[in-house]
Chains A and B, each alone.
Chain A
């Protein structure tokens, strides 16, 4: 069934979009991430312009993270204070992101930056996750149990402006929190991703936030940052397609429910290994496009007239 999208100005097959949303939602439910890093490239591949794809996925992530964040809030695994500091910085990052996005679009280098960023971040995060989880799996096989040692500190814990986050059981400088929040907000806006797959490892490995609290807090931060990014995209680029976003939301949220049931049956390190491989594969896909000679060297685009 074809449905005309008012902002993208093209008809799409509603079932294809529902299927994309559902599949990505299913995967994101398993792994507890937003899935924007999969959904945005899929939509671009389907023929939707990168600008509309990025902006509409932002709205979809807002919806999916709402469901998740509410669930974690009920079980008490959400650090509101840490989340609030993160998203305050995230909003600043988003604002810069939307501005940079507009400039890159005008320069004609948006595709390049999106591709390079995907390769860099997905490659780095994917590799780290696979390495860490393989190590954890090997340890688990050997029967070694590692406990969180209270005195275990890294260089980040030496920074000034310390703040206590009770729920996360950490006492840490506010500076790295701000940097992490702002970076995720910036990248999320430019790349149309929630950034959960980057935020979760950052909180675990850099700030030593307990895993139980991490996902809820990350979802909360993503929810607010993406809500702001949606409004920014709407006002700056006029590129949020509400019809497209709504189809994605419906597909994504339903898919996520089924994914979550499977995710709960799997072990944490197995999940991280699989997610790491998935992230790496998407990164490789972009790398191949950058390195292989394109079949067509030319591309044509209508020059945007900015008012």
Chain B
């Protein structure tokens, strides 16, 4: 009887909770996503810093190496060849940095505010990943805008394709960052760990060289590197808009093979997506277990 009386006072909340759970998770995702964008828009130094590095690679490394490597490039400027890799690189830096904000939030307490909210932890993680992906794709637009300087045409379809591919790559890289960030309590630890991982992933990925005819050990590493599957599709779509001799095309844009199987762009994108979802799942589990 007393039980019934106390239940009677709670019906609004009890019924509302079931119906609204999904809706409230969506709202949480949206606001966490929005916060990422708001934070990014305010952080001018970050915007500048994350543009400078890819530009350095593109124009300084591209121009510098061009003097000794023009032979192997079949008359294609190294800047043009590097361009897809640099598109991927800018996404990578931004995405990983976005994930770092989780560690940052933890250090400065804000993560707690999100963790005690009456929503599923997963929606916080998803919001973070989508936010990071969006920020990375927006940052990537700066590099997209430089296409003209490296003799890549400004074609609307090409730009759309690039942006979509960048979004997918950015999502997976943010998920990777979030997964790492789930375990770490200090910013310095996160920075050290990502520095240790990011540069090798970038160099091995074939951002700066074609992924065929490599020494055996490097080819193995290259195929294991998830970034490989993010950058190759970008290169393929960019190169499909270039006027190249067949010899240059097969040397510079060979595509990826598993054994003798040539992967299609779709398969490559799927590989990236599946990895992203897998890492996101790990991140979910980590957050549900770790944080009380």
Are chains A and B native binding partners rather than an unrelated pairing?
no
